[in-house]
Amino acid sequence: MTAPLGRDGATRAFAWMVILLGLFAVVYGIQRVPLIDPDEGRNAEVAREMREAGDWITPRFHGMPYLDKPALYFDAVGLSCAIFGGGEAACRLPSVLFALGTAAATFLLGAGLFGRARALLGIAVLATAPLFVGFARVVIFDMALTFFVTTSILLAEEGRKGRPWGFPLAWVATALAVLTKGPIGLLLPVLGTTALSLGQEPPRRLRRYFHPLHIALFFAVALPWVVEVEIRNPGFLRYALFVETFERLTRPSFQRTGSVFYYVPVLLLGLFPWSLPALGGIATSRLRSIRRLARPSPELGLILAAGIIVLFFSLSTSKLGGYVLPAFPLVALLIGNESVRAKDRPGSWVWTPGVALLLIGTLLLRGSVRSAIADGLHQPLALRAAVEMLLIRIGAWSLAIGVLIAGLGLFRRNAAVFALLGMWLPGVVLLGLGPAMLYAEENSSRALSSELRRLAGDEARVAALHCFPIGVDYYMGRVVPVVSETGQELTSNYIARNFEELRVNGTQGLWSPLELESRLARGEIDILITRGNIEPGFGLRPAGRVGGYRLWRESSPGK
């Protein structure tokens, strides 16, 4: 085997250096960055309400059932907060651990396909891929789903090699994926496993993967929670299958549509800068190389497995960047395996990334380019300076890495480019935390909650009128009532679709405008929150502004 950095010992040393830099990028500053709305604030609050209620079965948000997603990930966040306290780092710890687990499962999968040295290079690529690092730092389901999908594919591959425990444990991991994010957790492992097996020669034992006893084990793990939630919340199963899954995949009602090429830039940016040598390799591939990849092999299996996952979401009408995260471990293994040819392919592994980073760095340092990007991001005026500062730092860092890569190429140190590419993202995280903190504060409820406490104390009686700062419940440690006529403010499809029923059942988290007026008349509200330039009336006077929210209180003396 040709090692990308020379001797195998050097290969491992450089790979471990990149992996440790990736771990730094994952954990750096996660305890300082506030929970970003809507996803982090909502998911942390669901975990808090489940923990405080002692109910680990039914997710609850704003005092109501939140059945948009299953309970397993919320349980993990709730358990982490119960052990380590309710800070931001404790909320994000499960995602960090699932990321580490995904890296371990990817290494074992790669070691079985290519050997340990090449698998280690794949882990280095994965650990410094922006999309992977980004989702490892936030309170969201995608990293947990990626862990269970990757683990299921790994275990199925072990079963395909003849290990009797592989296939049944693969279906257990698939069941846990379903308990993390619903039916999609069944589709992705099955598609990925089937494609990986068919791409290799021979695709033996694949029929044993679908043995009825293995599928029965899947139902034995997944069904008890499903049945219990259906008993407690009649209609849940229909909602999970037909609304949250079928409609999301086939109808544009979730307002997350995009073209069939939506995930092309997601893959390019989510794997940057590793996507640069990958593109260079594709552009410079000869017919002989294409024929080699077309033959049954682990490479072809991974290409088919990653491709079927990306194609599935490309054909779906609901699209978000994080949906294709389960394909990233497979793509990372392909790039890591290809890096063994770095010494022999300076065109793709040196000059393509070197020139691209030089060009990107130069462009980002131009004021007109930064302004155009800042305009396209549509951020509030208060954040524009932070965005431009972040772009300047990324530009300068990219330019420096590009110069170093070009220098290595001139001195025929082509293989060491691997280490420099692995340094790009950790450098961006280190340089970008300051500007990113400003963005997070602007899109979090932490500052708003601090201002509410300053104005009216820890027990402030607060309500929100036709708006909802998603994380305010979490930071206030209780449900902050929302005055709503549709429930859309809570960003929950389940709550919005069952709004009238939930309000009739007397939830304390939803008020009608009449109830707000009545409570204001009785002096039961200290602070009212509105969004934008809305003025509530009721004789209230302005009490301040935090981000896009305005605060109001009674006009009477002493208030």
Interval 157-213: pLDDT, tens: 999 988 999 999 999 999 999 999 999 999 999 999 999 999 987 766 788 999 999
- The domain boundary residue, chosen from 393, 413, 442: 442
Q: Same structural domain for residues 535 and 503?
A: yes
Q: With respect to residue 388, please indicate whether it lies within any of the assigned structural domains.
A: yes
Give the DSSP H or E segment for 399: helix 381-410
In tens, the pLDDT along 58-77 reads 999 998 999 999 999 999 99
More confident residue, 371 or 414: 371
Mean pLDDT across the chain: 89
Model pLDDT, residue 559:
46
At residue 282 the predicted structure's pLDDT band, cuts being 50, 70 and 90, is confident
Q: With respect to residue 68, please indicate whether it lies within any of the assigned structural domains.
A: no
Q: Are 89 and 315 in contact (CB under 8 A)?
A: no
Distance CA 229, CA 234 (A): 8
More confident residue, 496 or 503: 496
Tell me the one-letter amino acid at 454: R
Model pLDDT, residue 383:
80
Residue 166: C-alpha distances to residues 101, 152, 208, 305, 345 (Å): 18, 9, 10, 18, 37
Task: Average the pLDDT over each of 78-82, 504-508, 546-550 and give the range with the smallest value.
Answer: 504-508
Model pLDDT, residue 53:
93
Distance CA 488, CA 466 (A): 9
Q: With respect to residue 83, please indicate whether it lies within any of the assigned structural domains.
A: no
Residue 502: give the domain boundaries. Answer: 446-554
List Cβ<8 Å contacts ≥24 apart for 359-365: 359/402, 360/395, 360/398, 360/402, 361/395, 361/396, 361/397, 361/398, 361/399, 361/400, 361/401, 361/402, 362/395, 362/399, 363/395, 364/391, 364/392, 364/394, 364/395, 364/398, 365/392, 365/395, 365/396, 365/399
More confident residue, 204 or 467: 467
Those residues with Cβ within 8 angstroms of residue 91's Cβ, 6 or more apart along the chain or in another chain: 35, 40, 43, 44, 47, 77, 80, 81, 139
Name the phi and psi angles at 462, rounded to 5: -120, 145
At residue 2 the predicted structure's pLDDT band, cuts being 50, 70 and 90, is very low
At residue 1 the predicted structure's pLDDT band, cuts being 50, 70 and 90, is very low
In tens, the pLDDT along 283-321 reads 666 555 666 667 888 999 999 999 999 999 999 888 889
Q: Same structural domain for residues 466 and 548?
A: yes
Helix spans in 69-115 (H):
72-84, 88-114
Distance CA 59, CA 73 (A): 10
Q: Same structural domain for residues 469 and 540?
A: yes
Q: With respect to residue 28, please indicate whether it lies within any of the assigned structural domains.
A: no
- Sign of the CA dihedral with 144 first, then 147, 153, and 155 last: negative
DSSP β-ladder status, 482-483 and 549-554: unpaired
Q: Same structural domain for residues 415 and 371?
A: yes
Q: Same structural domain for residues 469 and 428?
A: no
- Token duo for residue 216: 């029965």
Helix spans in 137-183 (H):
142-160, 166-181
Model pLDDT, residue 421:
94
Q: Same structural domain for residues 438 and 452?
A: no
For the cut 60, the answer to whether the pLDDT of residue 4 exceeds it is no
Rg of the chain, C-alpha, whole Å: 25
% of residues, the chain, pLDDT over 90 = 63
In tens, the pLDDT along 452-462 reads 999 999 888 99
Q: Same structural domain for residues 417 and 451?
A: no
Residue 470: C-alpha distances to residues 32, 43, 62, 106, 480 (Å): 19, 10, 10, 35, 10
- The domain boundary residue, chosen from 442, 468, 489: 442
Distance CA 344, CA 280 (A): 13
What does the pLDDT average to over 510-523?
A: 90
Q: With respect to residue 537, please indicate whether it lies within any of the assigned structural domains.
A: yes
Q: What b/e string do you get for 147-179 counting C-beta neighbours within 10 Å, with b at 16 or more?
A: bbbbbbbbbbbbbbeeeeebbbbbbbbbbbbbb
Q: Same structural domain for residues 438 and 450?
A: no
At residue 255 the predicted structure's pLDDT band, cuts being 50, 70 and 90, is low
CB atoms < 10 A from the CB of 366, how many?
Answer: 12
Q: With respect to residue 288, please indicate whether it lies within any of the assigned structural domains.
A: no
Q: Same structural domain for residues 423 and 519?
A: no
Q: Which residue has the tokens 């690092």?
A: 133
Task: Average the pLDDT over each of 14-18, 51-55, 219-223, 398-402 and give the range with the smallest value.
Answer: 14-18
For the cut 90, the answer to whether the pLDDT of residue 367 exceeds it is no
Q: With respect to residue 72, please indicate whether it lies within any of the assigned structural domains.
A: no
- Token duo for residue 558: 């002493």
Distance CA 50, CA 98 (A): 21
In tens, the pLDDT along 14-32 reads 889 999 999 999 999 999 9
Q: Are 445 and 471 in contact (CB under 8 A)?
A: yes
- The domain boundary residue, chosen from 390, 408, 442: 442
Tally of domains within the chain: 2
Q: Are 121 and 417 in contact (CB under 8 A)?
A: no
Q: Same structural domain for residues 431 and 466?
A: no
Q: Same structural domain for residues 360 and 431?
A: yes
Q: Same structural domain for residues 531 and 495?
A: yes
Those residues with Cβ within 8 angstroms of residue 159's Cβ, 6 or more apart along the chain or in another chain: 165, 166, 167, 168, 170, 205, 208, 209
Q: Is 257 left (phi over 0), alpha (psi -120 to 50) or beta?
A: beta
CA angle, 149 then 151 then 153, to 5°: 70
Q: With respect to residue 515, please indicate whether it lies within any of the assigned structural domains.
A: yes
Q: Are 188 and 177 in contact (CB under 8 A)?
A: yes
Helix spans in 115-234 (H):
116-127, 130-136, 142-160, 166-181, 184-198, 206-209, 212-232
